[in-house]
Amino acid sequence: MEMLFDEGFYTPGNDEMSESITQNWTEQALECYYINCDCKKCSLRNGHYSFICQMPKVIDTLIKTVGEPEQQRKTA
């Protein structure tokens, strides 16, 4: 899956990521994956967080280490 990044929101930080977030697909990682890392569609965008999103890097790492998700994300 080709990832498209909205350069207005995603700016890579340092190369260190917590190992715990790159070991399995979390709900937030799945959301990011299925919206193709489009920050404008992200549910966290409305939270006005003051951090730089690292999720695209997490998604790339997850795909390389555990593979793509096995099933579609659950929706309410």
Q: Are 57 and 17 in contact (CB under 8 A)?
A: yes
Residue in 72, 73, 33, 76 with CA at minimum distance from that of residue 56: 33
pLDDT of residue 71: 67
User: pTM value?
Assistant: 0.65
Provide the residue-wise pLDDT of the chain in tens; the chain has 76 residues: 545 544 444 444 445 666 777 889 999 999 999 999 998 898 887 766 777 888 999 999 999 999 999 866 454 4
